Structure 1
Amino acid sequence: MGFRERWTKEFTKMLTEDERKAFSLWLEFSQGKISESEFQSKMDMKIMPKMLGKMSATRMNALEDEVERLRKRVASLEDRAHKKS
């Protein structure tokens, strides 16, 4: 599972039902499945800003976690390389 899939799965777990609907709408729009006018007509202005704020914070946390995971992986590979030398 790639980073985007892991992030999306974790992010949707923390959303309310209304926020999940807003996120699904945003995904459809960002993937080009619906037009901007359709997105705007269906968008709930009470929910969307909250969901986008959560999305931004969650994305930053996920990226920090991914960087840490990659650092550990590099360290592990470097250790193996030094042991073989």
Structure 2
Amino acid sequence: MAYCHRMTGGCHFAMTRIIRGKFFRMGQKVGISEKVIDLELAKLSRKITVEATKLKGRLSKKYPAEVYEKIQRGIEARLAQLSM
């Protein structure tokens, strides 16, 4: 699994490349073109983005900003521990 020490989306980009590569290799084995795989991955990406946005909205309504910030600080601290 790819890991990026920056919280700038670099990790997401690396994971996307790994997942895309796996789908390409699987598609080649059964004769599916890269263009079809790209289109399907784009559809999945849009669905994931929509669901993530909905979840973020639900969480922001349910929990006050202080709780969200505390969770974010905890996640960042844990990632810092893992990167050492």
Q: State TM-score, norm by structure 1.
A: 0.41
Structure with more relative contact order (C-alpha pairs < 8 Å, separation 6 or more): 1
Q: State TM-score, norm by structure 2.
A: 0.42
